[in-house]
Amino acid sequence: MKLNGYEAQLKPILDELCLYLVRQGAKKGVAEDIVQDVFVKVLEMDLFLPPNKIKPYMYRMAKNRYIDYYRRRQKLQSILTTYLIPQSPTAHPGIIDRLDPDISRAMARLSSKERELLKLKYLDEWSINEIAVRQHKRPSSIKMQLYRARKKLRKVMAENDE
């Protein structure tokens, strides 16, 4: 399967898609990731369409992926903001009374390291590199720990739903 010519035909569309997503509110890095996902998906298709026919399909895919990303990010941000509270109850008076018991139990089942990692990444919005420097670890190690913490949180939340 020769893709070199097809890739060259799609390149201008990819640049347009990236600009489109940035104009829709996506950060440049997120837009580039979404465009890359769309590009891979198009290349995995067995059907080769001319650029003018595939362009609307690519725009729709990019828009849907951005919406999915935004929804996941909002949901995660909401959960983390609400439930990853400081250890001191006086810092946010009344928030403990509003906690959903299921999520409180799920967060309690995470280790203090996992809660701290999630708090730094999503609540305090630290970068992977900043967390790595603080904890004297490599960024790849922090990424893996975050992945495992998110996975464990999802699993615990699913168990609580059952």
CATH of the domain at 121: 1.10.10.10
108, 141: one domain? yes
Residues 62 and 106 occupy one common structural domain: no
Q: What is the pTM of this model?
A: 0.50
* Pair 8, 74 in one domain: yes
Last residue of a domain, one of 80, 106, 126: 80
Which residues contact residue 131 at a Cβ distance below 8 angstroms, ignoring those fewer than 6 apart? 117, 120, 121, 142
- Residue 49 is part of which domain span? 4-80
What pLDDT, on the 0 to 100 scale, is given for residue 144?
Answer: 94
Contact present, 21 and 32 (Cβ < 8 Å):
no
CA torsion 21-26-27-33 (nearest 10°) is: -60
Residue type, 93: P
pLDDT for 153: 82
CA geometry: angle 154, 65, 55, nearest 5 deg:
160
| Residue 154, pLDDT score | 82
pLDDT of 20 higher than 70: yes
Mark whether 60 and 97 lie in a shared domain.
no
State whether 76 and 15 are in the same domain.
yes
Q: Domain check: are 74 and 137 in the same one?
A: no
Q: How many independent structural domains does the chain possess?
A: 2
